Structure 1
Amino acid sequence: MTAPDAPRLIDVHAHFVTESYIRQARAAGHERPDGMPGWPTWSPAAHLDLMDRCGIGTAMLSLSSPGVHFGDDAAARRLAREVNEESARVVREHPGRFGLFASLPLPDVDGALDEIAYAFDTLGADGVVLESNTHGVYLGDARLEPVFAELARRDAVVFLHPTSPVCWEQSALGRPRPMVEFIFDTARTVTDLLFAGTLERHPDLKVVVPHCGGALPVLADRVNGFMRLFSPEDQGTPDVIAHLRRLHYDLAGTPFPRQVPALLNLVDPDRLLYGSDYCWTPPAAAEAHVASVDAAQVPATMTGAVPGTVTGAVPGAVPGESVTWRSLTTANAQRLLPRLAAR
């Protein structure tokens, strides 16, 4: 049980499903989505119950893999609009408890631009969720540049979410794709954004990378070396590490004891956010995940002479103030999503 005076978490990696969405996904062949045994159940009431048990103040709702595009642009547009309107209704009915990362019907660029306008201007979305690839179109694809230009113009939060790679039939070896394939597809699509220059062209994009960055923390120097080796001389020397340090990273999955220390070798602590991965993570596992975050010690490099107090290593913190992963990630989320600070 969370202490009553503990900060209430902001969950940037929280999912929902609807009966209509599951029915349409199954009709498109996703009976066992991404190799998982089946579909989860979800309701606002069950989600709120979990949030109250775990001390989560606000959960940002997004649709997980396999997204909304099952092969037909028109159907994908209709489904994106349907799930966005449904999640926006939940946000309205539970003020302050939920936010919305809207789904887009990529790789249909025109449909995505229409949905961006509707999601932000009519539904009041807090950001968008983008799958790591859609039918093999990764996020650095030149065809998607108008989408990123519009998101940058709107100063939008862009939450990335992994999905199965196109080669999963061979690479997954019959095992659930979220175990390993998701981790590498996250790294693959962020690397694609780097090589395509998308992050260079839009340096102020507020990108959230899931699962502690997937494989990125251990691959960052390798990617950096290859980019320096193969970049045209007239384009200067790209700095992959600088780009990656500007992104945000959630703690969904298995952050402790090994992933967070690796991530902190790449980024500063002000880039870390809390994420539960509920409802795809079952309630008992989600509660255990929160408990692991609350039990984890803040690294000594981030604390002062008095254990548990902040130094200047934590941007925005007051020296001598008590710090936990809960307080740190909540403050970071409020800076990223300032509307939540006022809720």
Structure 2
Amino acid sequence: MKTLFAICVALFLSLGAVVQAQETSNPASDAWEVQKLSGVAHVSVAGTEPVAVQSGQVLLAGQTLTTGPRTRLMLSNGKQHIQVSSNTTLSLPPEAETKPDMTVVRQTRGTITLSIDKQQSPHFKVETPYLVAVVKGTEFTVSLDDEWAKVRVHEGVVEVKNQVEDEAFDVKAGEAVTMNVASLSSGMAVLSDKGLFKGGNDTSQAGSARLTFSARGEDSPEEMETVRQRQDRERWRASPIGRVGLTISDGLAIVVGYLGEIINTSIGWVTGLVIAAMSPFIDLNAQFAGINYWVRVALVGVVAGLILGLGSLYLVFFRRR
């Protein structure tokens, strides 16, 4: 009886090990189920006519999904989910072009938001003609149109690789990177069958393909800085001189803040005196903001006059000596 029990326990443990090994080697199958479909979408395979997508339908490797205007749907693959927006095109590469430990989605247009389960090693990748996003587990959005290619990270860390220039770096939660696609010449925007650039990384005839970094994930390109500027700034912050500079700048910011409060309080006090002095003759309470403005102008004039006067006296005194 003990021998039979030991054999049963061994078989159970072996079965559990096999299942765990299978889950580790193949974290997600190549099939994606369409859920929460709202609008019109089509799926196609190379050389075939597009077919309308139905909720509950399963997308397989080698198929391409295209959503129409005012269309949203969810793709689910186990613990992984992709929210697909309208006017978006993405495809699942053929099995021959994928590895068992890496799930790949190729996007050539539109916007997708992904929620990927966390694992110890990178296991999910989004490929676009311009950027590649590799993750271990996170939530992020990839947007692509005729002007911009962008990756915004909502949770976790995403490694973003530039398909045109030789650069790659990590993007953290709350950050975003953007490429100005419109600046690239038409010759560079040639896609292969995989949706990637044909031919190496020669950008001599193209516009700037460097990624720009946004510290808070803004959409405004004017508020972005280059990746190298960000890296230089972070290295400076980590250096001893940078730490001293930050301490001094923080102290100056506190002093300037207090001075600003004192000045604002003083101006408000002067404005109140003016209104109190004039109140027997005219009601100025409703014009507090206007009077406050002119008090500020007068104060600036007085300060400027003092600076000019002191400067004049210094020059006269200096010349006499």
Bigger radius of gyration = 2
TM range, smaller chain: under 0.3
User: What TM-score, normalized to structure 1?
Assistant: 0.24
TM (norm. structure 2) is 0.25
Tell me which protein shows more strand as a share of its residues: 2
**Of Structure 1 and Structure 2, which has the larger fraction of its residues in helix?**
1
